[in-house]
Amino acid sequence: MMIMPSSSSANHDKQHVLVKKINYTTQEIEIHYQIGCPPGQIFYLNLSSSPFGFEDFNYTLFSCPSSVPYISTGTSYDCLTKLSPCLGNINNQTNYYALLGGYCSISRMPLVSCTKVLDYTSVPDLFTIKQANILKLLWFIPDCRRCEDLGKGCRFKDEFYSTQKNHTETQCYVLKGPKRPRATLRILGICALSVVALVTGIVISYVYSSTKTEKESQLRIERFLDDYRALKPSRYSYADIKRMTNKFKDKLGQGAQGTVFKGKLSSELLVAVKILSNSNEKAGEDFINEVGTMGRIHHVNVVRLVGFCADGFIRALVYDFLPNGSLQNFISSSAAAADHMSRHDNSNFLGWDKLQDIALGIAKGIEYLHQGCDQQILHFDIKPHNVLLYQNFTPKVCDFGLAKLCSNSKDQSAISMTTARARSLL
């Protein structure tokens, strides 16, 4: 059952009808009037606040005496005489005819004895209702997929509900979120500003601290180099370093203190260029130690510092190029090679005689550092990686980043072993 809304009062407030069929494909619902006068009830049907509609027609209602012959283009509704006193009389001597507007003209009908009662616009098909007591209602579900894809709401473009389904237009609108209290918004704003200010302060402090430390390190280096001008190693610019390494094309190796590239000063002089890393706080101090110690050294068993670069934050050291690399490449497998010489051919094994010569050469280099220099030098980092081999496998001690200059005073006869962290090769 279904209750239809009505615009009348008294007996027509509620219209009870039977739902016979619902078609969700065509969006139609078919209702059946069981009692009463369906055409009369239709005149009082009010769907303004209902989701349903119908295909509307315009009708003109005439009141004719019973003596008037049947009108072929109209339909008689005897039940209309019982609707109210204004539409009939108690003697039931009046017939009512509903004429479909637009299909016939009143002037062409034999209505001499009839009286026009009312014009009805936008009402359902009374002829179908007269024949079967059936009324078809329509409803429309708008296509909101486009709006939903955009994350918006969907509604009819006009407030007027059109029964023509294909002509009803929809529109999208922005969904409004729940309003927050002003106090909450104010607190959120203050918190956001506080976080931004805190993060900004941390970033500024970090940048300032890093820049200050780097500038202080650079200032110490410049002061040291000003006092070092009289010594032999040459100072190169960063452009010179790029030119001699052919834009860092040939990489020889990489360690904790930096990366080594092969370079060329002239057609006959090859060099190894070490670009120092700035990843630790003592990078500037290591640079000063390296240049300060190696610039004083001239010995066959100590690698020669050809020059250096201190161009802004870029620091590099330029050495003689030793083609055989470090001793580590030859000593790591020497023991195993010696045990298996009869079964295996190990080309990296130098032989015990050559290793003895290398050990003696390293000892001479260390002796020179301790006793032969104008100022005693402690290397503090002797290991196979820091011993390079020349063409004839002459050993040369290198990497003086941890080296210390000591006084040659005769009173100083002992050095703390916690300070002297040298890892002896011999």
pLDDT value of residue 360: 92
Please state the three-class secondary structure of 117-134 as a single string: EEEEEEECCHHHHHHHCE
pLDDT value of residue 239: 92
DSSP secondary structure string, 369-382?
Answer: IIIISSSEEE-S--
> For the range 369-373, what are the long-range contacts, defined as Cβ-Cβ under 8 Å and sequence gap of 24 or more?
369/297, 369/302, 369/397, 372/299, 373/296, 373/297
pLDDT value of residue 147: 86
pTM above 0.85, yes or no: no
The whole-angstrom separation of Cα 234 and Cα 106 is: 120
| 3-state DSSP assignment of residue 68 | coil
pLDDT value of residue 240: 92
pLDDT value of residue 422: 41
pLDDT value of residue 245: 92
Cα separations in angstroms, 196 against 85, 193, 199, 200, 210: 81, 5, 5, 6, 21
pLDDT value of residue 277: 82
Closest listed residue to residue 172, CA positions, set 195, 205, 139, 150: 150
Residue 381 annotated as catalytic: yes
The whole-angstrom separation of Cα 368 and Cα 379 is: 11
Please state the three-class secondary structure of 293-310 as a single string: HHCCCCCCCECCEEEEEE
pLDDT in tens, 359-413: 999 999 888 888 877 777 887 888 888 888 887 888 988 877 677 777 655 445 4
pLDDT in tens, 94-109: 566 666 554 444 444 5
Which residues sit opposite 28 in a β-bridge? Answer: 23, 138
CATH number for domain 228-406, candidates 3.40.47.10, 1.10.510.10, 3.40.50.300, 3.40.1790.10: 1.10.510.10
pLDDT value of residue 425: 38
Q: Judging by DSSP bridges, how do beta strands 234-236 and 305-311 pair with one another?
A: parallel
The one catalytic residue among 311, 320, 357, 381? 381
| 3-state DSSP assignment of residue 81 | helix
pLDDT value of residue 385: 85
What is the 8-class DSSP label of residue 393? -
pLDDT value of residue 108: 47
Q: Is 145 left (phi over 0), alpha (psi -120 to 50) or beta?
A: alpha
pLDDT value of residue 44: 64
Q: Which amino acid is residue 168, in one-letter code?
A: T
Q: Is 138 left (phi over 0), alpha (psi -120 to 50) or beta?
A: beta
* Structural contact between residues 398 and 303, judged by C-beta atoms closer than 8 angstroms: yes
Tokens, residue 101: 């507007």
Q: Is 279 left (phi over 0), alpha (psi -120 to 50) or beta?
A: alpha
User: Which ranges in the chain are annotated with CATH 1.10.510.10?
Assistant: 228-406
Cα separations in angstroms, 212 against 71, 198, 206, 217, 281: 109, 21, 10, 9, 12
Q: Is 397 exposed, middle or buried (0-12, 13-18, 19+ CB in 10 A)?
A: buried
- φ, ψ of residue 383 to 5 degrees: the values are -165, 165
pLDDT value of residue 392: 83
What residues in the chain have per-residue pLDDT under 50?
A: 10-12, 82-92, 102-108, 159-166, 230, 334-345, 410-411, 413-426
pLDDT value of residue 37: 66
- φ, ψ of residue 388 to 5 degrees: the values are -100, 150
pLDDT value of residue 211: 74
